[in-house]
Amino acid sequence: MHITVTGSHGFIGSHLIQHLSKDNVLDCWDTKIQKNIADFNIDRTDLIIHLAALAGIRESFEQADDFWKTNVEYTKHVFSVAEKSNTRVIYASSSACKKWFGNPYSISKYVNEFIAPPNSVGLRFSTVWGQGARGDMLVPQIQNKTLKFATQHKRDLIHVTDVVSAIQTIIDHPEQTGVFEVGTGKTIKVDELVAYNGLDVPIQHGQDYELEENLLPSHRLRALGWAPKKDIMDSKL
C-alpha cells in the first residue's frame, strides 16, 4: 500500500513510520524534513494518515493563533486534498474533545471532527506515553524528575505501541468511518502515579480548562479485535 503520513517525525509518527515501512511505500511530510504541511499535496496514494499538529493545552493559550492555523487551517487543506482525490484519511484527534470548549487546543481538535471528509476516521488518543515522548509530557517529566507538581486528575495512559496497533487496525478495516476512541479504558490519578514512581512533589488543584478524567473505553476499536497490551502500572518508569 502507498501511504502518505504527515507528522512523520513526531512522537507517534516516528513509531508509526517504523512499523509501516516493513510492508508499505511511504511518503513522509514533516517540517523536520523541510516538507511543510501548508504545501501538502499528493501525486498518488492509497491512504493519508494525518498526525501533524501542535499539542499542549496550556501552550495553546499562549499560541492560540498558531494552534488554529496548524491544527485547523492546515488540516482543512489536507482534508480538501483528500476529498479531491477521493482518498481515505485517518487523522489524530484527542480525548481533550470531551471538554472541547475549555481551551484553544481542544477546540481545534473538535473542529477537525466536524470538517473531516465522510470516508475518514478520527482517532481520539488519550494520554500517550513511551519512548520518544516530548519532554514536557507527563510521563517524561516523572521519569526525568522535572515534574513541579501533581494533580488528582485521572489519566488514561496508553503506550505509543498500542496507538500504532490501533492505527493499523483502522488501516485493516477500510469500511470504518467516524470517530474512534484510543485508550486503555482505565485511569490512574496523577498524584498516585507520581508517588508510585518515588517522586515527591506538591499536589495542586488542576485547572478548570483541563479534563478531570480522560477515560476512553474504546468500545468501537475493541469490537474490531484491538486491545492494548501495555499497562503503565506493570513496572516503575
Give the global pTM: 0.96
Write phi, then psi, for 100 (nearest 5 degrees): -65, -25
Is residue 207 in some structural domain? yes
- All 3 cell numbers of residue 152? 488528582
- Say if 233 falls within a structural domain: no
**pLDDT tens digits, residue range 90-106?**
999 999 999 888 899 99
- Which pLDDT tens digit goes with each residue over 23-70? 999 999 998 888 888 899 988 899 999 999 999 998 999 999 999 999
Count: domains in the chain: 1
Q: Give tens-digit pLDDT for 156-165.
A: 999 999 999 9
Q: Which domain holds residue 215?
A: 2-223
Q: Is residue 236 one of the residues assigned to a domain?
A: no
Residue 231 forms part of a structural domain: no
88 in a domain, yes or no? yes
pLDDT score of 102: 80
Residue 37: its pLDDT value, please? 85
Does some domain include residue 229?
A: no
* Residue 84: per-residue pLDDT: 94
29 within some domain: yes
Task: Tell me the per-residue pLDDT of 184-232, one tens digit each, with 9 for 90 and over.
Answer: 999 999 999 999 999 999 998 888 888 899 999 999 999 999 999 999 9
Using alpha carbons, select from 115, 114, 95, 117 the residue that is nearest to residue 105.
95
Q: Across 105-208, where does the E strand assignment appear?
A: 121-125, 127-129, 154-155, 157-159, 178-182, 188-189
Domain for residue 99, yes or no?
yes
Q: For position 107, which CATH number holds?
A: 3.40.50.720
Query: If you write DSSP's letter for every residue of 212-235 in order, what string do you get?
Result: SB-----HHHHHTT------TTSS
